Structure 1
Amino acid sequence: MKITILGSGNVATHLGKALLEAGHRIVEIYSRNLANAQALASQVGATATDLVTRLRDDADIYLLAVSDQAIETLASQLPVSIRGMVVHCSGATTMDVLASFQRYGVIYPPQSLRKEHDTQMASIAFGIEGNTTETEDALLELVQEFAPKSFRCNSQQRLALHIGAVFANNFTNSLFQISFELLQAHRLPFHLLHPIMQETVEKAIQHEPRSVQTGPAQRDDQTTIDKHLNFISEKPNWVKIYQRLTEEIAIKKKN
């Protein structure tokens, strides 16, 4: 297939390389910043451009690997003459923002991708959605060439997957940062927590997470909870987070 990629960031870079390795031809890279388009184009053997209205109209797929906020506007600027599938990669954006095209869909990777880090694309289960069965079949077949765990996923499922990923990745990482700052403030190295961090993730993968929940909230240890809250009282946001998560653990314990 001939593929045009709109975007030059993390997702665009990983998908461009994966599609190229799967034997497809990346014909064009678009970015508002021409230097960024050229940087990715040089890696995948494509032409670079910063003019969306001058994109070629004969690609089989137009892959919008841009921020959620840019998808609808960018799609509206695409040449009206294109006949290929128009696809975005967002977990939270509806497929219908592409409804002006005959064939459109979504390939969403529930993974935090960084272009400077190698990622095994085969380990990612992409959520695939198309506006017709034919389009969805074509997208699933394409993505499964480099990510065989990929699956059909409707819009509600994709949004649930995206929110779940935010809790599992973004919010968890923010909690790691709180732990980092707390230990740093008391001249303790963060690596002291690495074993428990690793164990927590491994257990959550192997079991339903609440079945392996531990800690003072799980034990109804209010004395320890009060000590913790007093210790971090100079950080009101941390106190709120601690209290809300303690409440959530208590609710899960009852249910």
Structure 2
Amino acid sequence: MNIVILGSGNIASHIGKAFHTLGHQILQVYSRNWANAHALASVLNADALDTIEEITDRADLYFIAVTDQAIQQVADQLPEPLHGIVVHCSGATDINILAGFPLHGVIYPVQGLSKDVTASLRDIPFGIEGSDQKIADSLLRLTRHISAKPFLCNTEQRLALHLAAVFANNFSNVLFQIAYEILKEQNLTFDLLKPIILETAQKVQKQIPKDVQTGPAKRRDMETIQKHLQFLMKTPHWLKIYQELTQEITRKKH
């Protein structure tokens, strides 16, 4: 398959390299920054472009891997007509943003990727959506070459998955940072929490999160909760987070 990559960042790098390794021909890599386009294109044996008007019309797949805010702009600037499938990789962007192309879809990796960090795509789920069933099936077959876990979904399901990922990944990570700073202030190392973080992550691989919930809120231990609240008085923003999460746990019926 002949592929054009539009973007040179994290997802573009991982997806481009994965397809290239499998023998697909990456024809072009486009980025507004030519140096970035050239850096990725040189790895993929592709032509580097910083002018979108030079995009070829003979590719089978056009993979838009830019920020959500830039997808519309890139799509509007693509030359017409394009006979290949045009896809974006956003979790929160409607498929209809590409409705101007007869063949379009979404290939959404449910993972935070960094281009400087090696990652195997085999175990990463990919949400697949197509402008019709034929396109969806085609993208599903293609994605199975790089991942063992592609699945069909619609735009609303994909948005829900993206939102859930923000809670599970982004929000948990900022809580890790809060914990890091609380410990640092007391001259304690964050390493002390790594075993319990790992244990929690391992538990939810096999069980529903609410079924493995522990801690003072689950036990309705108001004495300990009050001590925590008192400790957090000097950081009101953390105090508010603690209160909201405590209320979320205590209102659950276990």
TM-score range, shorter-chain basis?
Answer: over 0.9
Which range moves more in the overlay, 228-237 or 27-36?
A: 228-237
1:101 maps to amino acid: F
User: Is the aligned partner of 1:173 residue 2:188?
Assistant: no
Q: Which deviations, in whole Å up to 9, do the C-alpha atoms of 1:80-113 show, x marking residues without a partner?
A: 1211110000000000000000000000011010
**Runs of at least 4 residues of structure 1 off by over 6 A?**
none
Other-structure match for 2:128:
128
CA deviation after TM superposition for structure 1 residue 21, in Å:
1.3
Structure-2 separation of matches of 1:196 and 1:142: 39
Other-structure match for 1:224:
224
Structure-1 separation of matches of 2:153 and 2:134: 15
Q: Which deviations, in whole Å up to 9, do the C-alpha atoms of 1:178-215 show, x marking residues without a partner?
A: 00000001100110000000001011111000001000
Other-structure match for 2:86:
86
Q: Which deviations, in whole Å up to 9, do the C-alpha atoms of 1:145-164 show, x marking residues without a partner?
A: 11021011111111111011
Q: How many aligned positions are there?
A: 254
Structure-2 separation of matches of 1:45 and 1:251: 56
2:217 maps to amino acid: A
In structure 2, runs of 5+ residues without a counterpart are none
Other-structure match for 2:95:
95
In structure 1, runs of 5+ residues without a counterpart are none
TM-score (norm 1): 0.98
SS in structure 2 of the partner of residue 114 of structure 1: coil
Matches within 5 A, 1:152-167: 152-167=152-167
Other-structure match for 1:109:
109
Other-structure match for 1:8:
8
User: Is the aligned partner of 1:53 residue 2:56?
Assistant: no
Structure-1 separation of matches of 2:235 and 2:60: 53
Other-structure match for 2:239:
239
Identity %: 53
Structure-1 separation of matches of 2:244 and 2:227: 16
Structure-2 separation of matches of 1:243 and 1:26: 51
Structure-1 separation of matches of 2:43 and 2:171: 33
1:248 maps to amino acid: E
Structure-1 separation of matches of 2:67 and 2:129: 18
Other-structure match for 2:25:
25
Q: Which deviations, in whole Å up to 9, do the C-alpha atoms of 1:34-57 show, x marking residues without a partner?
A: 000000001111000000111111
User: Is the aligned partner of 1:41 residue 2:44?
Assistant: no
SS in structure 2 of the partner of residue 123 of structure 1: coil
Q: Which deviations, in whole Å up to 9, do the C-alpha atoms of 1:25-78 show, x marking residues without a partner?
A: 100000000000000001111000000111111111110001000001110000
CA deviation after TM superposition for structure 1 residue 134, in Å:
1.2
2:121 maps to amino acid: M
